[in-house]
Amino acid sequence: MAISRTSLRKTLSKFVENSVLLTGRSNPQLAHDIAKLLHQQMFEPISSFADGEIRVRIPQNMRRRHVFIIQPTSTPVNDSIMELILMIDAARRASASEITVIIPYFGYSRQDRKERSRVPISSSAVTNMITNAGASRIITLDIHSDQQQGFTTIPWDNLYGSYSLLPAIKSEKISDLVVASPDKGGLLQATKYAKLLNASGVALVYKQRDIEVNNKSEAMGMIGKVRDKRVILVDDMLDTGGTLVKAAKYLLNKGALSVRVAATHGLFSGNALAIINSSEIEEVIVTDSVRLRPEVLKNKKIKVVTVAPLLAKAVHHIQTGESFSKDLIL
């Protein structure tokens, strides 16, 4: 991580004095890795009552402090959200001056529009809960759609997993590379990766999602040329793995030499691991934005890169008032 020692020294004492770092139970390892890079203490204030209710008790004075809460709202999604809301509420009632919530993975972000009648915009509802609880700023990582920042009027900075994923992809020195997106929404992102990787092209695999059935999609067609190319499929998340495995199969049928995957959030729900293991995908690179199960970490096809340096820098930049776009947005 390239936070300079002088800059760290200058701000460290003020920073430690004025900040409190908290994490819920959804990805404490990531939170501790961030705290270690910042040379700060990370508090874990959550426990449970016998009936399953969440209990928050923060041992640190927060009066006029800047509180940073790190909590991906990943599985168990609803518990993770509730832990986040209660930590914000505790910090606000304890007179924190600012409450920055760092949500590396934002649960419900795929439900970001009214795609048919009589459905909620769940991502907006969750954002309202976070805002109403008292958060003063939101930081996310590869939020499913950038326009979700408009669901609230508090500042919302979205960072990109490419900051951590690109060095890992580059280190593989893949020749004849084409970057592909498994859906229309990811085309801009794929184009950005292609440019930064100096790839020979971009491809788009269309999919048609059956909105009557959760997590079901079909690859339908593609734009771009992949024959005799090595493809890297980029996506914001891998949930059941269905989207990426189908897209990979389609690309191989169209003459691609190999298919790798880079996805920011590795949810690996259901039998995603088995599906990926039995697929022709060569490698899957994900970040540690959500807590990864031991069997995911041990899997030979899966490479994990950390987003801790990126998020530690984000905390540091908020403290020092430095611009994010200068060195955090790739």
Q: Which residues bind ligand R5P (CB under 6 A)?
A: 110, 182-183, 185, 215, 217, 235-243
Smallest distance from ligand R5P to CB 105, Å: 12
Close Cβ partners of 125 (under 8 Å, ≥ 6 residues apart):
108
Task: Compute the least distance from the CB of residue 176 to ligand R5P, in Å.
Answer: 25
Q: Which of 114, 173, 207, 300 is catalytic?
A: 207
CB of 33 to ligand R5P, least distance (A): 25
* C-alpha–C-alpha distance, residues 313 and 15, integer Å: 13
The DSSP-derived string for 229-272 is -EEEEEEEEESSSHHHHHHHHHHHHTT-SEEEEEEEEE---TTH
Kindly state the smallest distance separating residue 115's Cβ from ligand R5P, in Å: 11
Rank residues 33 and 239 by Cβ distance to ligand R5P and give the closer one: 239
Comparison of 22 and 244: residue with beta carbon closer to ligand R5P: 244
The secondary element (H helix, E strand) that includes residue 295 is helix 294-298
The token duo for 145 is 């759609």
Spatial distance between the Cα atoms of 174 and 156, rounded to a whole number of angstroms: 35
> If we measure between CA atoms, which residue out of 226, 213, 216, 230 comes closest to residue 281?
230
Q: Based on CB atoms, which residue is closest to ligand R5P, 100 or 148?
A: 148
> At closest approach, how far in Å is the CB of 183 from ligand R5P?
5
The Cα-based distances of 34 to 27, 124, 297 in angstroms read 11, 28, 19
Q: How far apart are CA 159 and CA 3, in angstroms?
A: 17
Q: What is the DSSP string of 94-128?
A: TT-SEEEEEESS-TTTT--S--STT---HHHHHHH
* Nearest to ligand R5P of 65, 246 (CB atom): 246
Q: How deeply is 185 buried, as exposed, middle or buried, from its count of CB atoms within 10 A (0-12, 13-18, 19+)? A: middle
Nearest approach in angstroms of CB 139 to ligand R5P is 20
Neighbours of 41 (CB within 10 A): 12
Nearer to ligand R5P, 40 or 189 (CB): 189
The one-character DSSP state at 173 is: -
Contacts for 96 with CB less than 8 Å, ≥ 6 apart: 20, 62, 63, 64, 65, 66, 67
Q: Looking at beta carbons only, is 210 or 327 nearer to ligand R5P?
A: 210
Does the active-site annotation cover 36? Answer: no
63, 98 Cβ separation under 8 angstroms: no
Cβ-based nearer residue to ligand R5P, 135 or 284? 284
Q: How far is the CB of 322 from ligand R5P (least distance, A)?
A: 31
Which residue numbers are catalytic?
207
